[in-house]
Amino acid sequence: MTAESLVFFFLAAFAVTTALLMITERSPLVSAIYLIANFFALAALYLLLRAQLLAVLQVVVYTGAIMVLVIFVIMLLNLGDEPHTRFRLDPRTGITVVLAAGFLAEIVIAVATRGGGAPRLQGPPPETLGTVESMGDVLFGKFLLPFEISSLLLLAAILGAVVLARRRG
């Protein structure tokens, strides 16, 4: 087993552990902190995949901007611990458990039956796949029109939010 494999397994275990702790934590602020730790683990996994741009964007956008906003809202709303509720078994809980078990079984079957002869997709060489240059070439070359359309849609959504906020104020 190589050192890269050991680092991968450590990071994967850390990501799964922080995700489980985030879900099971009662305090919203502590749960958000576990989510930040999970984002850092995912960024490190992106670095192992040699996708430097995705790793940097993961840290800057999600960990830096989005989580600061989430923590600000949690502190602004002054959310405390939720009161303990008694577990009840109702039809929705049963359906949820059955669907979750079905999805888990589907994933296990797909991984177990995956053959080594799967078709390979054509694309750039793996060593340049996640670099800033290759992402820039694809984003501003082949996908320039969808990129510009999505930026116009985001601009329209921001303007709509401002208009709606001014009407209420």
- Which range marks the domain in which residue 167 is found? 134-169
pLDDT digits (tens, 9 = 90+) for 99-132: 999 999 998 888 888 755 555 556 666 666 767 8
Of the listed ranges 9-13, 74-78, 119-123, the least confidently predicted one is 119-123
107 lies in some domain: no
Distance (Å, whole) CA 67 – CA 55: 16
Distance of CA 148 to the CA centre of its chain: 23
111 lies in some domain: no
Whether residues 76 and 2 fall in one domain:
yes
100 lies in some domain: no
pLDDT digits (tens, 9 = 90+) for 19-61: 999 999 888 889 999 999 999 999 999 999 888 888 998 999 8
Cβ atoms of 18 and 37 closer than 8 Å: yes
Distance (Å, whole) CA 154 – CA 6: 41
98 lies in some domain: no
Both structure tokens of 104: 């888990």
Residues in the chain: 169
Q: How many distinct helices (H) and strands (E) make up the chain?
A: 7, 0
pTM comes to: 0.62
